[in-house]
Structure 1
Amino acid sequence: SPSVAAVAVISADNTPRFIETYTDGNSDAALALHSACYSALDVVDERVAAARVRGSGSAAAIADCYLGELLPLEEHVVHGYLTPTWVKIMLVVGDEVPLQPADARRILGELHTAYARA
Structure 2
Amino acid sequence: KILAVCGDGGFMMSEQELETAVRLNLPVVCLILNDGGYGLIAWKQLNKFGKEFGCRFGNPDFVKFAESFGAKGYRVKSEDELAPILKNALLQKVPAVIDCPVDYSENLKLTAALGKIICPV
Fold equivalence (TM over 0.5): no
* Larger fraction in helix: 2
Task: Return the TM-score normalized by structure 1.
Answer: 0.25
Task: Return the TM-score normalized by structure 2.
Answer: 0.25
* Larger fraction in strand: 1
